[in-house]
Amino acid sequence: MRNEIAIAALLFILVMLAGCSGTPGKSTYSVDDDGVLSLTCAPATVSEEILFSNETYTKSRIVFHTEDGDIVSYLGAPQQPAAAVVYVPGAGEKLAGHEERMACFASAGYAFLFVDTRGNGGETTGIPFGQQLIQQDYAKFESGDMPQYYLSICDLISARKLLAEQYNVSVYSMGSSNGGRYAAVAAGVDPDFAGYVGISTSDWGLYDSLIEQGYTGDSLRFAASIEPSTYIGRISPRPVWIFHAKADPIISFESGEQLFEQAQDPKTFVEFFGNHGINSDVDEKVIAQWAQIYAPRG
């Protein structure tokens, strides 16, 4: 009997070790004739390190161990958030600019997860969005392999699942500039995101450029699959908020309006003070919008 117990215990340990160290499954995708992406994302294992904690919030470093590398993220959260956000940074945007933002959102009652996306130049490896990535990802698309862009959307879906499971709250997809483009696709692909917040963002413009050049077929399907406009109308009936500064020198105010026009109700367009990218005025306006939804009812 003792030997049987020992063998059973050993088998249990081996199963646990296999679950911890085994190779994750593979994510898969399909793209329909309209260029709409569907994803089945392989589960990611997660490790977390607490970096700081006080009476307002806890900050931690969370690493998603995926089929194609580790994705680093940082979470600032109060003990019992009313809602949570998966935040996708713009090109080259680092965590250092968001320390105060994490505390601000936490003090208002919201968890804020900064995802260091693939190729953004931070702790997560990858190729930045540009001609090299487009060419590489299209080659993978043609061969049936998983493009990095699609893997990045899976990363955001994994982040949403983590927050939803940990806090049992609504989780929004939010992004600034290039990050707003990824965030829009994620919200459109994953119906379990509670809504979308886009800041200083627009379409990539790849699809329209290929149309003008006379491209057809798979190249157009792939281009459509990464454009925010393919998905923003599909977010409804979940809310869409677009924030854009009139003086934006990088992505024009008009481009932001064009993306907003393709969203369905409920949707809100908000002009903010500044130039390009998330800032304290956006923070205040987002928190004010959410206060109307999550304020305690007397």
| Domain 27-294 fold | Rossmann fold (3.40.50)
pLDDT 10s digits, 10-47: 333 333 333 333 445 799 999 999 999 999 999 999 99
pLDDT 10s digits, 261-289: 999 999 999 999 999 999 999 999 999 99
pLDDT value of residue 11:
33
pLDDT value of residue 296:
66
pLDDT 10s digits, 46-67: 999 999 999 999 999 999 999 9
pLDDT 10s digits, 118-128: 999 999 999 99
Could you tell me the pTM of the whole model?
0.91
pLDDT value of residue 161:
98
- DSSP letters for the chain: -HHHHHHHHHHHHHHHHHHHHSPP---EEEE-TT--EEEEPPP-EEEEEEEEE-SS-EEEEEEEEETTEEEEEEEEE-SS-SEEEEEE--TT--GGGGHHHHHHHHHTTEEEEEE--TTSSSSS--PPSSHHHHHHHHHHHHHT---HHHHHHHHHHHHHHHHHHHH-SEEEEEEETHHHHHHHHHHHH-TTS--EEEES----SHHHHHHHTT--THHHHHHHHH-THHHHTTSTTS-EEEEE-TT-SSS-HHHHHHHHHTS-SSEEEEE-SSSSS--HHHHHHHHHHHHHHHSPP-
